[in-house]
Copies of this chain bind each other. A is one copy, B any other.
Amino acid sequence: MLQFKGRKILKKKGVDSLQVSGKKERLRDFIKKMGFKSTRQRDIIATEFLKTICHITAEELYKKISRMNKEIGFTTVYRTLKLLAKSGLATERVFADNLTRYEPISTKEHHDHLICLACGGITEFEDTKIEKLQEAVAVEFGFMTITHKMELYGYCRKCKKHAPASE
């Protein structure tokens, strides 16, 4: 069983708060449209989540929020993340450690991941050439692709000097 030794996540370029508030508006619209209700909790959770620059689990987000606010339960964080995913503001992903992680949608249309087996760091990348070849494979098999998943597991620049010799 694969297991990460840590959870440190690589940084991404600046996230501006204007963008966050735009997304929060989009969430509010979605909530209204669906006949749901806006709540203090959802607002706090969404704000905290949208500030996120990494792939976070419900547990991690819950802990982060608990530090400031003892009155928000795990279940609500969990449900709000699901809601964010349904509204299209978050993406749900499962990597090799089998935990469900959420990530705010980015400007990139679709991206894949490089995952460090030592530090757990996740780096995103995009490669149109690969995407095109994937589609070509699908067509060859008479397959209609809806989505795909591509993850490269290994050791990042910082960790590779400590990579186990035998693998």
Contacts and interface: CB of A to CB of B under 8 A. Distances in A.
Interface string A118-155: 00000101010110011001100111111111111111
Contact of A125 (B98, B114, B141): B141
A104 to B, nearest CB: 20
Interface residues of A, number: 35
A160 B148 contact: no
A147 B154 contact: yes
A44 interface: no
B152 A138 contact: yes
A98 to B, nearest CB: 7
B154 A146 contact: yes
A141 B114 contact: yes
B134 A152 contact: yes
Given A96-B149, A98-B94, A143 B154 contact: yes
Interface of A: 94, 96, 98, 114, 116-117, 123, 125, 127, 129-130, 133-134, 137-138, 141-157, 160, 163, 167
25 contacts: A94-B94, A96-B149, A98-B98, A116-B143, A117-B146, A125-B137, A127-B137, A133-B133, A134-B152, A138-B152, A141-B156, A141-B157, A143-B152, A143-B154, A143-B155, A143-B156, A143-B157, A143-B160, A144-B155, A144-B163, A145-B152, A146-B167, A149-B149, A149-B151, A150-B151
